[in-house]
Amino acid sequence: MIRQINLNRMILTGALMAATVVMVVLNLSQPNAFNSLLNIALTLLVAALIVFGLLMINVLERRWDQQEVALQAVEADNMALMKRISQRADQLSTLNQLSVLMTQTLSTSDVLDSTVSSAALITQADAVAVFVLTDQTFERVRDAGFNDSPAYLTPVTSPTLTSMTPTIIHNLRHGQREPMTALLADGFQSMLELPFVSNGRLLGVVGCYFRRLSSFKDDEIGIMLSFAALLSNALQNAERYEQTDYRREVASSNLQALLEAREAYTHMLVHDLRSPLTAVATSLKMLASTVDETDAHHETIQRLTSAGLRGLRKVMARVDSLLDIAKMESGVMSLQRTPTQVAKLVENVFKDLEPLAEGLEVRLYATITPLPPLMLDADKMERALLNLVDNALKYTPQGSTVRVEAVRSGPDRLQLRVADSGSGVPDSHKERLFDRFVQIEDRQVVRRGVGLGLSLCKAVADAHEGRIWIEDNPTGGAIFIIEVPMIVAPISEKPPTEAELPTKPAL
């Protein structure tokens, strides 16, 4: 568009110069005064029309610039919103993880250990300290992230506080108390204290300290208060369990309450994420559809909006993984088995991940043994395979290959094998790696996730009465293997059409 405008401007400018030359030539060749005046008038009229055309071109160019700036602003807003949604998903994932841990332990020590790591993830704090209130005096029982033991550290929160009101200090330079001065000297710039209260009694405080100026939105504070409420219940239950014979009552009532809270948090995750994700996806699709194919920016906008939509799908897949794992552990995860072509599953996974593989300069290869249609839950098995291939891409170096095989293992078993060319998996992690939020910290990785994908793979394999394990790749790297029973679809049944497959959340 801009190129065409510049071309039109050059043509009109040339026409204006030509008109001027014609006027001079005519005046020199026709000494008659009347004819000269007529030529001058005509030439001026032409020149005026050309100048008007140039002015209109400038107006159109300014309008186009304004539209381009508006499109860039919309794109920036959508990308910022998507980043915020992804961060919120990580926070809610951590909250869900903590709720699981709280239902599995009644040890005060274990609860406090989990509190430190979870608080750092939820608040993105650089350092965390946990204080327990005993006889109106705060005692620091856990801390992490400080250069040295913070002996100077005492909470700002009053020991007489009876409500879950957080204390937020956005800039420590505005505080005059000695702990704030010491925190500044230690490199911290802001802080947040989350009280955990039970039945109107302050149990303690979680202090979160930041080496940057921080501000918190209402929804972020809501998540942090939910975290504090969960911690309050867990500490109270642990205290009762350790001090009394409260075991049976806790197992039958309070433990059930924590399980219900965990389910509520899961539903909150779905509600809070799907609506804004859908809104962002709709905005990206509208942005892509407003640009004509002949426009000079069409290709760039299509590429950017496609990348944004892929990112949204990954966030939603993370949410769905949490839901499926929670259902599996609750014993309510059901399968919708339909006649499924395994080759089609692999094809769908490759379509989703090929843009990512190309960006990483990693090749995807598949070897599929001829198989009849099998009775599988196509949606869950496809997501499990997608997680395995996506995990392989994280650890495969540039210029290498990720291989997928679908083969028979004996007369009635199916194996899906995903091999990467990375640094491999230590023997000590080959079983633990399928637990939620477990990752190998020192393993070389292109990009890091939150540790949910492999947990979903195990849940899907278990639901299909199969298993999953890891083997060493003889050429270097690791091979992740899902093995499930082969249930051949009855001949009378045909593989479902796309319209008959279980629907996925719209993005």
| Interval 409-455: pLDDT, tens | 888 999 999 999 888 888 888 888 877 655 665 555 444 444 567 87
> What is the DSSP pairing of strand 467-472 with strand 413-419?
unpaired
In SS3 terms, 362-412 reads as CEEEEEECCCCCEEECHHHHHHHHHHHHHHHHHHCCCCCEEEEEEEECCCC
Residue 181 identity: T
More confident call, 44 vs 334? 334
Residue 158 Cα distances to 76, 193, 195, 205, angstroms: 42, 11, 10, 10
**pLDDT above 90: residue 484:** yes
Q: Tokens at residue 21, please?
A: 């030359």
**pLDDT above 60: residue 238:** yes
**pLDDT above 80: residue 95:** no
Best mean pLDDT range from 254-268, 303-317, 399-413: 399-413
The CATH classification number of 338-500 equals: 3.30.565.10
pLDDT at 210: 92
With the C-alpha atoms ordered 379, 380, 382, 383, is the resulting torsion angle positive or negative?
positive
pLDDT at 156: 85
Above pLDDT 90, what percent of the chain?
A: 16
**pLDDT above 50: residue 505:** no
pLDDT-derived band of residue 21, with 50, 70 and 90 as boundaries? low
225 in Cβ contact with 138 (< 8 Å): no
Task: Say which DSSP state 488 is in.
Answer: B
pLDDT-derived band of residue 499, with 50, 70 and 90 as boundaries? very low
Residue 340 identity: T
Best mean pLDDT range from 103-117, 226-240, 328-342, 453-467: 453-467
**351-370: b (≥16 Cβ within 10 Å) or e:** ebbeebbeebebebeeebee
3-class DSSP state of 466: coil
Residue 506 identity: A
Residue 91 Cα distances to 125, 157, 226, angstroms: 12, 24, 11
Average pLDDT over residues 137-155: 85
How do residues 166-205 score in pLDDT, each as one tens digit? 888 888 887 656 667 788 888 899 988 988 887 778 888 9
pLDDT at 469: 93
Q: Tokens at residue 88, please?
A: 């919120």
Alpha carbons 390 and 310: distance in angstroms, whole number: 13
Mean predicted lDDT score pLDDT of the chain: 75
Nearest to 235 by CA among 55, 68, 115, 355: 115
**pLDDT above 70: residue 133:** yes
The CATH classification number of 105-243 equals: 3.30.450.40
Best mean pLDDT range from 124-128, 230-234, 290-294, 319-323: 124-128
pLDDT at 290: 79
Residue 316 CA, chain-centre distance (Å), reads 8
pLDDT-derived band of residue 493, with 50, 70 and 90 as boundaries? low
**pLDDT above 70: residue 261:** no
How do residues 457-483 score in pLDDT, each as one tens digit? 888 898 899 999 999 999 888 999 999
Alpha carbons 249 and 377: distance in angstroms, whole number: 39
How do residues 307-366 score in pLDDT, each as one tens digit? 777 777 777 766 666 666 666 656 556 788 999 999 999 998 998 888 888 888 999 999
More confident call, 31 vs 465? 465
In SS3 terms, 269-297 reads as HHHHHHHHHHHHHHHHHHHHHCCCCCCCC
pLDDT at 198: 78
Nearest to 85 by CA among 270, 261, 267: 270
